[in-house]
Amino acid sequence: MATFVLIHGGGGSAWDWHLLVPELTDLGHDVVVPELPIEDRSAGLAEFCQVVVDAVGDRRDLVVVGHSYGAFTAPLVAEKLPVRLLVLLTPMIPRPGERPADWWDDTGYRGAEGLSEEQQFYNGVPAEVVAEAARHARQHVSAEGDEPWPLGSWPDVPTTVLIGREDQFFEADFQRRVTAERLGITPDEIDGGHSVPLSHPKQLADRLSGYLLP
């Protein structure tokens, strides 16, 4: 079975994956869930990548999953380690030289009006999980926002984009367009909103594991 390397999004933590991890281990997989150094004002993309590489250690047969802002880090890891598959989940897909802070304008992102933060990020997530989420949010003050994304081209690794059909933060039509423009592929789709690992963990585990079938 594979080792799934789960990279959380902006302001997030390893807790964001806590419902998915047991679903993947029940399927026989190993799981690595690093904490990106988003609270370190000196940390940039190189430090983000190194934290993940260090967490993986000598594990092999890797599937790297980057959620949302984690998509800026996931391909960097795929350049460093022998990655079998790269999965970008409801992602911010970077392009060479792009600063993360510029991604919003570069992609033409327009957020839905009139929605609360909870509605944007946690639609479909059980109320008790949403209530707990606030206790695990972290201050995102690291330095990578103004750093150009360092890869000159996308890593030579099979890449899949998986979007949430009910995502109210990155709406499905927006995700389809950006995926086509930046990677030239059509994204796969799954039930749920932006926080699929919290709303549909079993369905997500089955989908991720299914990608490994011949």
Kindly report the average pLDDT of the chain as a whole number.
97
- Class of residue 176 by CB neighbours under 10 A (exposed 0-12, middle 13-18, buried 19+): middle
Element (H, E) at 2: none
Q: What's the CA angle centered on 60, arms 56 and 66, to 5 degrees?
A: 55
Q: For the segment 59-71, what is each residue's pLDDT rounded down to a tens digit?
A: 999 999 999 999 9
Each domain of the chain, given as residue ranges in start order, spans: 3-210
Compute the average pLDDT of residues 64-79.
98
Whole-number Å distance between alpha carbons of 12 and 69: 9
Residues 146-176 have pLDDT tens digits of: 999 999 999 999 999 999 999 999 999 999 9
Here the tokens at position 55 are: 């967490």
pTM, rounded to two decimals? 0.97
Residue 1: the pLDDT is: 87
Q: In what order do the strands lie in the sheet with 62-67?
A: 30-32, 3-7, 62-67, 83-89, 159-164, 188-190
- Number of other residues whose CB lies within 10 A of the CB of residue 155: 17
> Does CATH place domain 3-210 in 3.30.365.10?
no
Average confidence (pLDDT) over 94-118: 96
Using pLDDT thresholds of 50, 70 and 90, give the confidence band for residue 46. Answer: very high
CA distance 129 to 198: 8
* pLDDT of 17 above 90: yes
Does the pLDDT value for residue 112 go beyond 90? no
Separation of alpha carbons 182 and 205, rounded Å: 26
For residue 91, what are its two tokens?
């992602």
Q: Token pair for residue 177?
A: 């367009």
Residue type, 130: V
Q: Which two tokens stand for residue 171?
A: 């709406």
Q: How many CA atoms lie within 13 A of 160 on its CB side?
A: 18
Give the pLDDT band (50/70/90) at residue 214: confident
